[in-house]
Amino acid sequence: NCGGLGTSENEFQRLSGENSKHKQQQQSAETSQRKRKQQEPPQTPMEKYKMKYLWVTNLCSQTWCEQQMVYEFELPEFIEPEKSEAMNTGSSIHLARELEVHDLVSVATKSREDSWAVKFINVLSMIPVLQSGGRIREFPVFGELDGVLLVGVIDELSYSPKGELELRELKTRRSPTMPTSAQKRSNQFQVSLYKLLFDSMVSGSLQPDTFIHHLHLNPEQALGPDVKEHASKMGLIASNFKDMLELTCLNLTYSDLPMIDGLKIEYCYQENNSLLGCEVVCFKSELVLEQLTFHMAFWKGLRETQGVDIEEAWKCRKCTFSNICEWRTRDLDFAKGKRPK
Ligand code: SF4
């Protein structure tokens, strides 16, 4: 028994020794991991959400409430079903308008390069329509602004009776009323960004390297058979992604298309598609660029997330995240001395 007990004690000591060795190893692994994390530069929001480019609409959500936009990324299950439903109805109205000017063709894509090539084919197919004075809808725009690749889709471009190029943005509303000035500001920023992107595209500022650099695409990637066929039907000869990219940049540079002269936002009631009002936006370049720099600072990790200002605390009343919002409880309540009712 004694011998047996001795063996157990030895065994116990051996196991205890191994355990404490494991614990030490684990602790040192945790310490070095912590140190490595401290040494590593913190992730920017673009890295955290794995975004290689931003949509214009991302920046517009920020103008409403940056904190809300962050919650929408991180807690999508919180988004109200009515909001998603309204977005779907809005998309259907946009689609109906798009079908008024052209048919939709479905093209099978086999790579990320293929998906971008299709966007470029859309641009290339619409340039001649604009050149001949026609109207186009759902025109893709892209370009580098403040060091970030920004992408959007212009609802409509056409010429006014005076021959000026006009952008029209359609906004569908759930209620038969015009939006608040805060909502209007966000929409004005959206169309102003579209103008910045479009103008730089037709003035030859778009460089093929910008796409390769930001999107990490392979310029030599061969286009898929469907994309190649679709391109050739449009009279475009391209075998790989680089061909399509260069063709697009060259066509835009030498298109002789004018810059956008006028910006209009049309508000429609979703229920019956009736027009609620049309707003003419005055483009103020300096103001737009200033706003852009402020928003991009967030994406580049140069500043913390911000919620609404105290004057706009009324936005929290309708916000899905108001019960969990740290900005509201920490900053707004502190500033107001009470919760927004
Ligand atoms: Fe923004 Fe207010 Fe919503 Fe917080 S509660 S996310 S501050 S709107």
Alpha carbon distance 252, 257 (integer Å): 8
CA atoms 18, 21, 25, 26: torsion sign: positive
Q: Enumerate residues 6+ apart whose C-beta is below 8 A from 68.
A: 61, 307, 315, 319, 321
Ligand 1: residues whose CB is within 6 Å? 65, 67-68, 71, 307-308, 315-316, 319, 321-322, 325, 327-328
Q: Which two tokens stand for residue 240?
A: 């790989």
> What is the pLDDT at residue 4?
41
If you average pLDDT over residues 80-101, what whole number do you get? 61
Q: Residue 262: what are its φ and ψ, rounded to 5°?
A: -130, 145
Please name the residue whose Cα sits nearest to atom 2 of ligand 1: 316
> What is the pLDDT at residue 78?
79
If you average pLDDT over residues 255-277, what whole number do you get? 94
> What is the pLDDT at residue 222?
96
Encode pLDDT of 105-131 as tens digits.
Answer: 788 999 999 999 999 999 999 999 999
164 CA to centre of ligand 1 in angstroms: 40
- Burial of 115: CB neighbours in 10 Å, binned 0-12, 13-18, 19+: middle
| Structure confidence at residue 44 as a pLDDT band (50, 70, 90) | very high
> What is the pLDDT at residue 102?
61
- Does residue 206 surpass a pLDDT of 50? yes
Encode pLDDT of 130-143 as tens digits.
Answer: 999 999 999 999 99
* Among 210, 246, 229, CA closest to 109: 229
Q: Higher pLDDT residue, 160 or 17?
A: 160
313 CA to centre of ligand 1 in angstroms: 8
319 CA to centre of ligand 1 in angstroms: 6
Q: Which long-range contacts (CB under 8 A, 24 or more apart) does 56-61 make?
A: 56/141, 56/150, 56/151, 56/152, 56/190, 56/193, 56/194, 56/197, 57/152, 57/190, 59/150, 59/189, 59/190, 59/193, 59/292, 59/295, 60/186, 60/187, 60/189, 60/190, 61/186
68 CA to centre of ligand 1 in angstroms: 5
Measure the CA angle with vertex 293, ends 325 and 42; round to 5°. 60
Encode pLDDT of 181-195 as tens digits.
Answer: 999 999 999 999 999
Q: What is the CA radius of gyration of the chain?
A: 27
Alpha carbon distance 69, 307 (integer Å): 9
**Of 192-201, 210-219, 320-329, highest mean pLDDT:** 192-201
Which atom in ligand 1 lies closest to the alpha carbon of residue 68?
Answer: 6
If you average pLDDT over residues 284-300, what whole number do you get? 97
Q: Higher pLDDT residue, 106 or 258?
A: 258
